[in-house]
Each structure stands twice: as structure tokens, then as C-alpha cells.
Amino acid sequence: MRRRNSRHISEEVQVENLVNKARKLIHVQNDQYEADWLKAGGIGSEQWLVIDDYELGSVFTIKFDDYLPDGSLLTDAQNSLLLEPIQKAVFHLRMGNLQHFHGWHKQWLRVVDTSVNLARWMVLHTEVFQTQQFGFKLLTDDHLKAYFHEFANGGIANTLKLEDRFLAILHEKTLTSLPLSEIIANKNCLNEGFIQSSACWLHKQGAYIHAKRLKCKVVSRKYLEKMLGCSSQLFDRYPIIANVLNQFDIQYKLSSPEAVNLIHKDKRRIGPLSTIVRKTMYTHQKEIRILMSAHNLVSDLPYISDSAFKEKHLDTLGLDGHTMLLPMEVGLGAINKAAEMIICYGEQIVTAAGAFADEFTYLGSYSKPKRSSSMKDFFQRKRLEWCSDEQFGGVPLFIRYNVTSFTANSRSPAPKGEITFQTLHEAFYGACALLIGMCKPIRDGELHRVNLECLDWEFENGGALLIHELEKSGVQGQRQVIRRPIPSLVARAIQLLQVLSAKLRAIYGDKNGPVIDRLFYIPKRYLSAPTGKVLGETLNAAIDTFCELIALPTGADGRPSKIRIHQMRKFFLLVMYKHHDGALRRTLGYGAGHIHEGHIDAYTSFSHDDPESVKYESQCVSDRLLALELGHIPSEGHDGLAALYSHICTHFNTHSIQALSHDNFIKFINHLQQAGKYKSTVYTVEISGTDGVLTTMEFAIKFEGARDNEFD
């Protein structure tokens, strides 16, 4: 008899199997929804107070009073059959009663949001689901397949038909003679008369708010949240609805606030449309599968079979995206300007920020007009102080950055480039953020969490180390603490932020505020002690202000360049890895303040063992392969790239790499790179932009005996 082959099972899989068996044996009491992590609230409550970190004692609030498309709230009594099953399911998920790991709280919250959006879709089709009477109970496999089909064709914006419903409401309220079908068919270029009459109606409803950065009035996203019954974040997340809404922007004039004058057609904010990518679809399906997997524990949830989740929608979905490489002029321009601000004027900005904060706080008992007048006088007295060192020209800070006042109604630069000190103060945080973020693996959502005492010195080998706890949890919820060498420029930025934090905390008397232990101690409106709310968004806004201040070249789409941390990180790594030789290496190390070669290599040399550097190169190579397949790159002159493309197609037994899973595709390129199966060098190419010609890097490939013409 043939012997049966034994299959090796890893220790992790064995543990998971045992846990799953144990779960089946545990008797779960479905009627008890109490836990130590749930500090306040319960089933049916409008909000929950949940422990985030037991050691730190931090908590966060989940609010369930979301608007639904029929104008009601999820927490209204008639919607209890939707609210309570969602709350019960996510409770069981957090308790570990479902065969899914809930992850950290942001992943858990996504399940909540996705469940609410599914409920909204069902309310939108109440004639089918009768949600007030049956809740989720009438939902079937076929319904969910139809839902996923709609999601694949435009995400939540399409499942909730946001732009069509918005236009239908305006069509009804304005009594226009235009057929609704004609309006919807031309929604990306609406009739001017319809826009004007709709804007007048919206203005009468109090729907407009002043967007200071845009220097115009826009339709309030909070107003639309109530009108259309969805999250306000959706309106700018999906270009398909954002492009419709932006056509209703109106001019802002302080002299005539009641006037309804449309933005000129040529200046309207119309962005490129984008498709839902495979990863987004996979994540969305997974989150709904988690919700429905609670049906054994929550009787109000129906059984949904696996067949409802099998359709991949590959013909509709776009390929998973990744961070695009910044042009040289944008990346190097940002680094140079940030370096100037920190090295030449950093100490002066910190001193000035402390002086203005001290004066503004001292005048706290004054009336608003008198306080404003006193601050203007103070500004004029200090206008020519705080000069750069003589080696940098001895130029006054306010002359260099054209600072003409302490504060103003708008933070954006005036037509002549004049700015306020508040704008400069904000841009300083943005400059520091870009430099710190580019030198270490850090997510956009983590940078604002960097601790105040994050700098360490390596006196034996020279240089400095940045210490940070990664937010993403590891095994058993443990968070990894990383220590990375950083250039002296970045160390200087951190020191300045530490000094500025100490000054401002002392001035505000802030001894136990929410961010006293954070490196980025950003005052509220740059006038008073920070509240700690939306600090991540505040820091991103500071980066935007910095980019606006230094006037980076506009992108290929004609919009001003705005940089994010992950973009700066990718740019820094690839430029450092691919553009230095042995002679330059020492100079880089000296400038960074490092003597030990290991520390120099930590951020200037390419390593096939560095997963981050491998990932970024693989992303660039995958873009080249896709461009070759689509005919955007000729095969002539790109023999190495073509040979690599053929090898990948043969390996996966496919005629198109677009049909491949993005993760598998990138992982295979990673493997080929780490194994040395192909070699790459970089060269520069010119791309046309609205500000002229920009420069970027491209990869030339050598695979086996074939090589690209540009391979060096």
C-alpha cells in the first residue's frame, strides 16, 4: 500500500487550529455584552467609550448616530434592527468570538464603518429590505452579489448613488426645465444656469462654508452628510462625487458675503477620475464577511454563503496602486527649502514663536480689538529682529519669508506672496515633518505620535538615532520599537521641535495636556495650548502649507504639488540608494554626522535585505512592466525589460500581468531582485508639466543575457 505523505504544519497553524476548536467548545452567552475594554455604552447606545491602550490608559469614542439615506439616524428607535446587530457583531469580533482577528482599533473601526454603509444601502432600497421591520434578515447571497457589483463600479459613492441623488434633489428644488436624465448624463460639465439656480438655493439653506485655503465658498460636507445620509469623508474621497460638488463652488468676498457668484469655469477644481482597485474590493468584502460571520451568535444577521464573496470583478477593478515617485525638482526642492528653513532660520523661528506666544498670552485679558492692535504694534517692533547668522547673509527672518503681519483672515499667501507669521510657524512644522519622515519607516498616521524624547546619541561612532514605537501591533499586540540612524539635519529639526515645545508649554502653563509628551506640540490655531484633536490632519495641513510656501512645481495634472510622508520616504531612499558612489559615500556620512560605516549604510546604501528598499524598487519596475504591456513603452531598446516581462508571464502561465494579483506580482519581483535574477540601474528622463520640464528617474533592466539600452 502506498504510504500517505505527511504534510508539515507550522506551529502557528497548529495554534490557530487549536484556538478555533476551543472557540467551538466555548458556550457563548449571547445576551451579555459587557467587557473590561468597553468603559461606557452598550447594545443600543449612541456611542461607546473603548480602551485603546491599557498601559497608557488611552480611550477612544465610537459614535453610532450616523445619518441614513432616509434622513433618520442609525440610533433612532425605528432603526434598532440595524444598529443592534452591528453592535453585537463588532462586540463579538473584539472579544475574539469570531474566526477573524480584529487587529488594532483602526481595523476594527473599519468593520463598523463598512457595516453601517451596508445598512445605508439597504435603507436606500427599503422597498426590498423593509429594514425597519426586518433589519438585515431579508439580505441574501444574490443581494450581496449585486451590492459588490455596484461597489466595484465606484465604491460607496456608487452604492449610495451620491452624485445622482444630489442632482435629483437640486432638480426638484430648483424647478428647472431641464430633464433630470440630461443633467445626470452631463454631471461632469453641468449646465451653467442649473448650477447658478442650485447655488442660490443651497445658499438660502445655509449650505455654504468659507474654505480659507481655497479662497472660496464650498458646499459644506457636513450639510451633505445629513442631506444624503452618508459619511462626510466620502465627498472628497471619491472624485466622481467631488467633481460634481466642486462645480458649485462660489466666490468669497468679504464686502458682499450674500452674493452668489460662481467660480469661473476654467478655474473649477475638476480632478481625474479613478477606479476602485482590487485591494480595496478585497478589504471591503472581507469586512462584510466578518459582519456576516456573526450570524451564529447574532440571530438578526442572516446566513450568507461563501459564493456571495467569490466574484473578483477583475474586468472592472483597477490594479492596486502604490506610492508614485516624486520628480527630482519636487523632492530635492522640498529637501533644500526645508534644510534652509531649519539650518538658517530654525532657531530664529523658534525664538519668534515663543515671543509671539508669550505676548499673545500676556494680552489675554484685553478686548479683542485692543489685543489685535497691540499684536500689530508688537509685530512692527520685532519686524527686523531674528536675523540669520552672518554666514547665511544676516537676513531678517521676516524679510526672507515676506512676513508682513502676525495673523490674518486667511493662512494662504497673498497675491504678492505676503504671509503671516502664523503661516510661517505652520510651515516650519511641515518642513520638520518631511525631513523626519523621509529618514525612517513611518506611516502618515504615526508621525504625529512620535514622542518628545525620541532622540538618542551614539557618541562612540558619531551621529544620532531616532527612536519610535511603531503603531502597528506585532505578535500578541506588542508594538515594535525601532532605532534608526538619522542625518544631523534631521537631528537638528528634532532638537528645534523639542525646544519649541518646552517654550510653548511653559508659556501656556500646560502641565498635563493631551500632547505634552509629543514631539509635534502644535498650538490650537497657533495661538493657544493644543487640544490634541485631529493632530494627524493638523500635521498634514502643515506639510501642505510648507509646500505652498516654497512654490513647488505643479504636477502633470496642473495641480500644485503636495507631498506626503510616504512619498518623501520613497524619493529619499531611491535617490540615496541609486545616485551615490564610493567617493560620495564619505561626504554623505560626514554631512550626516556619522563615522561608523554601518550607520552611514543604514540610510545611504542599497541592501537586498532591506524590505523597504526592495519594495520601492519593485514598485517602479512593476510600473515599467505594465507600461510595456499597455504599449506605452516600445519593446525596441528595452530588451531586458521585455525578457523580464516574458519570464513573469511564463511563471504565472498568463498572457497579461494585469490579470495577476498585485501582491503576488510584487512579491515575485521582490524574489527575483533579492535572488539577483535581474539587475537594475537608473537614468533620468524628462517629463512635461505645466511649469515646464521636470526630471524623474526610470529603471533600466538586465535580465539573463538581455539588457535595456540605458542599462549602465
Q: Which has the closest alpha carbon to 88: 43, 54, 121?
A: 43
How does residue 416 score in pLDDT terms, banded at 50, 70 and 90? low
3-state DSSP call for residue 425?
helix
User: Angle of helix 421-438 relative to helix 488-508, nearest 10 degrees?
Assistant: 140
Q: What is the pLDDT at residue 566? A: 81
Q: What is the pLDDT of residues 369-387, one digit of tens each?
A: 898 899 999 999 998 989 9
Query: Of all residues in the chain, what percent carry a pLDDT higher than 90?
Result: 40
pLDDT at position 22 is: 53
pLDDT at 587: 52
Beta-carbon count within 10 A of 643 CB = 20
| DSSP calls for 14-27 | HHHHHHHHHHHHS-
- Residue 432 CA to residue 492 CA, distance in Å, equals 9
Mean pLDDT (whole number) for 44-70: 86
Q: Residue 273: which residues within 8 A CB-CB, separation 6 or more? A: 239, 240, 243
C-alpha closest to that of 682 among 648, 644, 646, 708: 708
Instruction: State the cell numbers at 503.
Output: 517654550
The yes-or-no verdict on residue 548 having pLDDT over 60 is yes
Residue 160 near residue 120 (C-beta atoms within 8 A): yes
Collapsing DSSP to helix, strand or coil, 433 comes out as helix
Residue 342 has pLDDT above 70, yes or no: yes
Long-range Cβ contact pairs of 546-550 (< 8 A, separation 24 or more): 546/334, 546/337, 546/338, 546/426, 546/427, 546/428, 546/429, 546/430, 546/431, 546/434, 547/334, 547/430, 548/412, 548/413, 549/401, 549/413, 549/419, 549/423, 549/424, 549/427, 550/333, 550/334, 550/337
Count of Cβ atoms closer than 10 Å to residue 3 Cβ: 5
> From CA 250, how far away is CA 202, in angstroms rounded?
11
Residue 287 has pLDDT above 60, yes or no: yes
First to last CA, the chain: 59
| 87/676: higher pLDDT | 87
- Tell me the three cell numbers of residue 184: 445626470
Q: Nearest 5°: CA angle at 112, between 108 and 116?
A: 165
| Per-residue confidence (pLDDT) for residue 474, from 0 to 100 | 42
Residue 129: per-residue pLDDT: 95
424-475 pLDDT, tens per residue?
A: 999 999 999 998 888 765 666 677 888 888 888 765 555 677 777 665 544 3
pLDDT in tens, 269-279: 887 778 888 88
Q: Mean pLDDT across the stretch 156-185?
A: 94
Q: What average pLDDT score do residues 103-117 get?
A: 85
**Assigned C-alpha cell, 653:** 502561465
Q: What is the DSSP letter of 606?
A: -
Strand ranges (DSSP E) for 183-239? Answer: 208-211, 216-219
Task: Give the amino acid at 445.
Answer: G
Instruction: Name which of 264-273, 311-320, 478-487 the model is least confident about.
Output: 478-487
| Type of residue at 64 | F
Q: Give the side-chain half-sphere CA count within 13 A for 219.
A: 29
Least confident of 598-607, 616-625, 633-642: 598-607
Q: What is the pLDDT of residue 36?
A: 86
> What's the CA angle centered on 544, arms 403 and 276, to 5 degrees?
165
The answer to whether 353 and 500 are in contact (CB under 8 A) is yes
Q: Calculate mean pLDDT across residues 124-131.
A: 95
Give Cβ neighbours of residue 404 (< 8 Å, ≥ 6 apart): 398, 414, 418, 419, 420
**Bridge partners of residue 381, in order along the sequence:** none
Calpha distance 11→415 (Å, rounded): 65
pLDDT of residue 631: 86
Q: How many residues does the chain have?
A: 712
Q: What is the pLDDT of residues 191-247, one digit of tens each?
A: 999 999 999 999 999 999 988 777 889 999 999 999 999 999 898 889 899 999 999
Q: Which amino acid is at 119?
A: A
Confidence of residue 674 (pLDDT cuts 50, 70, 90): confident
Select the more confidently predicted residue: 317 or 129: 129
Report pTM: 0.67
Q: Domains in the chain, ordered, with CATH?
A: 11-154+280-309 (no CATH), 175-274 (no CATH), 328-574 (1.10.443), 606-707 (no CATH)
